[in-house]
Structure 1
Amino acid sequence: MTAQHTQAIHVRGLEKSYGDLRVLRGVDFTVARGGIFALLGSNGAGKTTVVKILSTLLRADAGTAVVNGFDVATQAAKVRESISLTGQFAAVDEILTGRENLVLVARLRHLRNPGTIADDLLRRFSLTEAGGRRVATYSGGMRRRLDIAMSLIGDPPVIVLDEPTTGLDPQARIEVWQAVRELAEQGTTVLLTTQYLDEAEHLADRIAILHQGRIIVNGTLAELKRLLPPATVEYVEKQPTLEEVFLSLVGDGGSGSGSGTNTTPATTSAPARTSKEHP
């Protein structure tokens, strides 16, 4: 299989300026089909600019970008048919119910059986029980999951998530993470932009760090960790992480219903081997 068929996104030499401000200074990366690729960077690094170029909302000054085999500059309509973009804030209608939001989008896309499509997505994202409720009553995590579900109507092969967990509480973030993992497991290619280090660490197959308009490193989590000096090994008592404490008290949060807590306290495990960097 050729590289063109194994790559869902191929970016080379992207440049973009706003007046004298150079936002992108030659960005290069590729995203494999069916993988989760995290574009990591601080505010102002250029992540959203990359997303806008890939989704044909903005034209690059230089460089090329190919999405699902189509050039974003010369085949914009084909690119838009191939992707779905979920922005930083949930684009849902709070007056409608969750199911009505999904049916509306399916009808706008002129798809057959919009009700069946809506019911399937509600089930896929654990929102069936909430489907008949107005979205105004949803939690932040439920709204974001509904927003992602709406993005999948029409089965786009590539979905772009621009900082999908910004402003969400810890339990809502975990719900969205689970939804993103399931997308990749079912074959959807995910390009994720985030400024949260733990989000990239938990989700991504590959991570690229965008800094001052350039990709300064790109690799798997293991490859990135090897960039640091070798570690020494010491024996220390392993303490539970804050995430383990949180989940032991409130449950895994996977259903988004807010019920079903686990009151078993977190306990300290036996001494374990951990690593410590050289000073």
Structure 2
Amino acid sequence: MPDADAAVVAEGLVKTFGATRAVDGIDLVVPRGVIYGLLGPNGAGKTTTVRLLTTLLRPDGGRATVDGIDVATRPAEVRARIGLTGQYAAVEERLTARENLNLIGRLYHLGRSEISARGTDLLERFDLVDAADRVVKGYSGGMRRRLDIAMSLIARPSVLFLDEPTTGLDPRSRLAMWELIEELEHDGTTVLLTTQYLDEADRLAQKIIVIDTGKVIANGTSDELKDQIGGDRLSVTIARSENLQSAVDALRQLTTGDIEVEVDDDGTHLHAAIPIRRPDGASCSPCPRRCRRRCPQCRGPAANTGRRVPDTHRQACSRG
């Protein structure tokens, strides 16, 4: 994909700190208008990669562009086009949410009327209207995170970098954050999301790149990565050992490939690693929304992959 057709491009990106090679030849291409996942454990090089792409660090090798603009030679132009939310909410605790948004708008040299209108829209969108004029010091972690992302969007960036946005959040706040990120994609914002959570990348990202020790070790869609590691694993308890073969035959109907079966010594516990067969998409109806709900037949997010989903999925989507 040419640089002009991609939101973010990196080729052979390298960053060293002394003898440590934090980023070691990373290549990636992020299409416009999608959520692109950067998955890896702590210390894998995710944050360093983001800091390189957002001009906070200069690469020691390779090149990177955002909206076709080189991050090393034209950093000011890149910064004018991006939003960044780091691992920790960068909000001013002594100000209110509205004042935080006004401050960032002024730093972007936006007009007063534009700042006011944009700030009001973001406060409504991120469910912060009731707390808009309260000092941020009293906010919960989830509220700070929502405000932090809202501040990153004040200047309508074409690319938003989210560095582990749900770290430290409780399950309810985490789910709410996922929904907000999905809405950003629905609005056409390109999102590069770093995360160490498999379920987060699985739900949100259209494509995932996995890195470790600064190197890319895998990339593809969620389903492609799952297929590489052997599919699902089932454990079955059988009432009578003589029914073992019938159970194996039933499991084989779930897949078009071979299954690996382990049987305990007593002959009544069966463990099978099987690639689950997905049905023909022609039997499903098109999903009316980019909703990212899990299809009960296709078992994956149908909205951005060209899959088709059954009527039960359509009904759930229609109800929001």
* Structures share fold, TM-score greater than 0.5: yes
CA offsets 1:195-229 (integer angstroms, 9 cap, x no match): 11111111111111001211111111011111123
Residue equivalent to 1:268: none
Query: How big is each residue's C-alpha offset from its partner over 1:20-67, in whole Å with a ceiling of 9 and x where there is no partner?
Result: 111122101111101001111111111111011101111111111111
Q: How far is 1:136 from its partner? A: 1.9
In the alignment, which residue of structure 1 is the partner of 2:127? Answer: 126
How much does 1:157 deviate?
0.2
In structure 1, what is the Cα distance between the partners aligned to 2:233 and 2:177? 35
Distance in 2 (CA, whole Å) between partners of 1:162 and 1:231 is 29
Change (3 A) 1:189 1:230: closer
Give the structure 1 partner of residue 31 of structure 2: 32
Deviation by residue 1:167-200 (Cα, 9 ceiling, x = unmatched) = 1111111121111111111011101111111111
The answer to whether the 8 A contact 2:3-2:65 is kept is no
Whole-Å Cα distance in 2 between the matches of residues 223 and 174 of structure 1? Answer: 24
How far apart in 2 are the matches of 1:167 and 1:231?
Answer: 29
- Deviation, structure 1 residue 231: 5.4
1:94-113 aligned within 5 A: 94-112=93-111, 113=113
* 1:192-211 mapped onto 2 (5 Å cutoff): 192-211=193-212
**Which sections of structure 1, spanning at least 5 residues, go unmatched?**
237-272
Map 1:217-256 to 2 at 5 A: 217-229=218-230
Q: 2 CA distance for matches of 1:134 and 1:233?
A: 51
Corresponding residue of 1:17: 16
Distance in 2 between residues matched to 1:161 and 1:231, nearest whole Å: 30
SS at match of 2:177: helix
Distance 2:91 2:22 in 1: 30
Does 1:143 find its partner at 2:138?
no
Give 1:277's aligned residue: 273
Which residue of 1 is the match for residue 311 of structure 2?
none
The code of the aligned residue for 2:61 comes to A
What letter is aligned with 1:180? Answer: I
* Structure 2 CA distance for aligned equivalents of residues 151 and 231 of structure 1: 38
Distance 1:192 1:99, change over 3 A: same
* Shift of residue 107, structure 1, vs aligned partner: 2.0
C-alpha displacement at 1:76, in angstroms?
1.1
Residues 213 and 232 (structure 1), Cα distance of their counterparts in 2 relative to 1, 3 Å cut = closer
Partner AA of 1:148 in structure 2: I
Alpha-carbon separation, structure 2, partners of 1:168 and 1:231: 28
TM-score for the superposition, normalised by structure 1? 0.81
Structure 2: distance between partners of 1:109 and 1:73: 21
Report the more deviating stretch, 140-149 or 16-25: 16-25
3-state secondary structure, aligned to 2:51: helix
| 2:69–2:78 Cα contact (<8 Å) kept | yes
**Which one has a bigger Cα radius of gyration?**
2
Letter in 2 for 1:158: V
Q: Secondary structure at the match of 1:133?
A: coil
In percent, how many aligned pairs have the same letter?
52
Residue 35 of structure 1 aligns with an amino acid whose one-letter code is: V
Q: Higher relative contact order at CA 8 Å, sep ≥6: structure 1 or structure 2? A: 1
Find runs of 4+ consecutive structure 1 residues off by over 6 angstroms. 232-236
CA distance in 2: counterparts of 1:231 and 1:45, whole angstroms: 26
**Contact 1:233–1:274 at 8 Å: present in 2 too?**
no
Partner of 1:53: 52
* CA 1:132–1:274: 2 relative to 1, 3 Å: farther
Structure 2 stretches of 5 or more lacking a match? 238-252, 256-271, 275-320
Contact 2:208 2:222 in 1 (8 A): yes
Are residues 1:188 and 2:189 paired? yes
Q: Residue 83 of structure 1 contacts residue 157 of structure 1 at CA under 8 Å; is this kept in 2? A: yes
In 1, the alpha carbon distance for the partners of 2:15 and 2:149 equals 28
Q: RMSD of the alignment, in Å?
A: 2.2
